[in-house]
Amino acid sequence: MPFDARNDLPETPALVLDESVVQANIDRLQAHCDARGVRLRPHIKTHKIPRFALAQVAAGAAGITCQKIGEAEVMADAGLDDILITYNIVGAEKCARLRRLSDRLRHLAVTVDSAATVDGLSAAFETAERPLVVLVECDTGAGRCGVQSPEEAAALAARIEAAPGLSYGGLMTFPAVGDLDGVARFMRRALELVAERGLSCREVSSGGTPDMWKSGEDDFVTEYRAGTYIFNDRSLVNRGTVPLEACAARVHATVVSAPTPTRLVVDAGSKVLTTDLFGQTGHGTVIGHPEADVVGLSEEHGVIHLPKDHGLAVGDRVEIVPNHICVVVNMFDEIFLRRTDGTLETVPVAARGKVT
Amino acid sequence: MPFDARNDLPETPALVLDESVVQANIDRLQAHCDARGVRLRPHIKTHKIPRFALAQVAAGAAGITCQKIGEAEVMADAGLDDILITYNIVGAEKCARLRRLSDRLRHLAVTVDSAATVDGLSAAFETAERPLVVLVECDTGAGRCGVQSPEEAAALAARIEAAPGLSYGGLMTFPAVGDLDGVARFMRRALELVAERGLSCREVSSGGTPDMWKSGEDDFVTEYRAGTYIFNDRSLVNRGTVPLEACAARVHATVVSAPTPTRLVVDAGSKVLTTDLFGQTGHGTVIGHPEADVVGLSEEHGVIHLPKDHGLAVGDRVEIVPNHICVVVNMFDEIFLRRTDGTLETVPVAARGKVT
């Protein structure tokens, strides 16, 4: 539903995205990856919206990354046919869902870090016409999932290749930000050990938006996963990864209270901005008011401290760049896209809330 | 959709509520308020589910409290007809929506803390058949919205009473936890000043679950708003307000990775548990594993540290009591209600995501 941007601004709180900034962000990282010879496989957890996934593929992405089967199902419905789910899919019910999804897609891959997960996937896929592609997740320092050593990685690769219904697809890591040397040491050794077992890695998948401009520096990485880059956020500005102008998404809010000369309250609280500090101080950057400090959020109120004579009054609108855009998009049933002609279009967040 | 609790546990992550604990929580606070002679007006921001609002009214609640017009619209659809929206409704579009809502209800009231908000409401309601009831919000120390002094409260009360289409309804405060003396000083003085202007306060509304057992101690409070009490959460256990057994809501999650002997990863991250620490350390209490520490959340992963030999393996389910239940319910499209016969029923979170 298009409507005039100036006369029909959406009721607040609302998430408004600038389409030209979105497209520039897509094009910039794609050009970088093309120049470095690494495939880009964007993570849709950030936007959860099929049209953006399609735009990423149209720009040259090799496929997409999802974290949940439910997200992948939404994207498959929209015609995306090459999906990597970077998650341990555990349990008979989920594995059966994964197989149904696989039957609809040109290419589906998942990651694992344990024998138990491999065995569960194999049980679901042993009668499948096409094997499921399975990559080994390596914990190269992030301290989340992943095998703990190159030796474990090679052993798990062999177990995958031997498992009925599965095909070993390579290695994957979600690197700790800033430690690319440590990541490279782990992954190079794992590649050696996998090769010693006579297996080849079709993909070596790395990722993360903060280090995206370094993607392709390591010649062993074949594909790069980034999510946040499509919109960017305050955390990336504060890290120095992107300028504020590259932030495509702003939460529009209305000043609903000005209780003191230095305190404003807006109608965007933790049920919109979330409490995700993501390493920041404060809950967002208020555009045009660098002196403003979003000091606190309750569920439906955002409290902003400002020096006196800030010029804002009850009824005024403010625009806030959030700390962590991936979790903020997930709070909205729909977002508003400001198109290049200035009109706003309502776009459903189709994969929002797909928690399973 | 009822299904057998033992054989058909929902896919994880899932929020499972125990109906008998919910009903006991409803009954306990209602009995307390009845005994103290204060009306209970539960805040539905915690559950966002009409059946629970109806259960609260059936138990004796005077009506309900909402924070957003969108929440109130959902509740009105379900037959709730006495609603207080404890929020400054700002802007012509929202005020028009409020008037349409008012026409459907037996009783609607809102709160204000500024002349600008009063004037906006009056413009929308001046031609209404019934006046809108408006209470003055008082900031008694919480530092959010609210007039800053009893003098301001009385002046705003007079402005409301003089405004076409509006009727002065009383005073409201969201007290800072634990400072009931300061709250009482502010509110008693405001009541005196309002009375000096020849106005009477039909309601003096206070609230907050942490201090709920003290509601009714002050004889000037006529109604009490509490939200979290219906489910309770880890923050209330850690404050000593309720025992763990009174927590009706648990996030069920599955262990998807056990990378080291002391680290588990479950499939509930910040898109389920949220990053709301709410004054706590850690992101939840793992039932049956008091030694477990939910040390970190990424979007779809929860990282738990445990001493060795914890007995949990990939595929096992855990139940987590979240820090702040109000924001967790809001992450789910549906919850699972464990009924007294042990079966589980799927219940939509009808007012989830109603941000405007």
For chain A, give every domain's residue range.
3-13+235-348, 19-230
Q: Are B294 and B283 in contact (CB under 8 A)?
A: yes
Interface size A-B, in CB pairs within 8 Å, comes to: 162
Contact A144 B301 (CB under 8 A): yes
C-alpha torsion B49→B51→B55→B57, nearest 10: 70
**Nearest one of B271, B229, B326 to B32, comparing CA atoms:** B229
A173 and chain B in contact, CB less than 8 A: no
Residue B173 backbone dihedrals phi, psi, to 5 degrees: -145, 150
Determine the Cα–Cα distance for residues B16 and A22; give it in Å rounded to an integer. Answer: 38
Contact B313 A116 (CB under 8 A): yes
Largest CA distance in chain A: 71
Structure tokens at A214: 């370094």
Please give the pLDDT value at position B1: 39
Contact B300 A327 (CB under 8 A): no
Count CB-CB contacts under 10 A for residue B343.
14
CATH of A19-230, one of 3.30.1050.10, 3.20.20.10, 3.60.130.10, 3.50.50.60: 3.20.20.10
B167 and chain A in contact, CB less than 8 A: no
Contact A143 B303 (CB under 8 A): yes
B146 and chain A in contact, CB less than 8 A: yes
Cis upstream peptide for B259 (omega within 30°)? no
Contact A326 B299 (CB under 8 A): yes
The pLDDT profile of chain A, 356 residues, written as one tens digit per residue, is 444 444 578 999 999 999 999 999 999 999 999 999 999 999 999 999 999 999 999 999 999 999 999 999 999 999 999 999 999 999 999 999 999 999 999 999 999 999 999 999 999 999 999 999 999 999 999 999 999 999 999 999 999 999 999 999 999 999 988 888 999 999 999 999 999 999 999 999 999 999 999 998 999 999 999 999 999 999 999 999 999 999 999 999 999 999 999 999 999 999 999 999 999 999 999 999 999 999 999 999 999 999 999 999 999 999 999 999 999 999 999 999 999 999 999 999 999 999 99
Contact B333 A353 (CB under 8 A): yes
Contact A259 B330 (CB under 8 A): no
Indicate the residue of A90, A94, A271 with minimum beta-carbon distance to B327: A271
Nearest chain A residue to B141 by CA distance is A259
Nearest chain B residue to A331 by CA distance is B353
| A74, A275, A329: best to mutate for the B interface, most B CBs within 10 A | A275
Nearest chain B residue to A325 by CA distance is B299
CATH of A3-13+235-348, one of 3.30.70.890, 2.40.37.20, 3.20.20.70, 2.60.40.10: 2.40.37.20
- Min Cα separation B35/chain A (Å): 30
Residues 121-140, chain A, touching B (beta carbon < 8 A): 139
Q: Are B19 and B13 in contact (CB under 8 A)?
A: no
Name the stretches of chain B with pLDDT < 50. Answer: 1-6
Same fold, A3-13+235-348 and A19-230: no
**Nearest one of B146, B355, B142, B145 to A265, comparing CA atoms:** B145
CATH superfamily to which B37-230 belongs: Alanine racemase (3.20.20.10)
Determine the Cα–Cα distance for residues B63 and A28; give it in Å rounded to an integer. Answer: 54
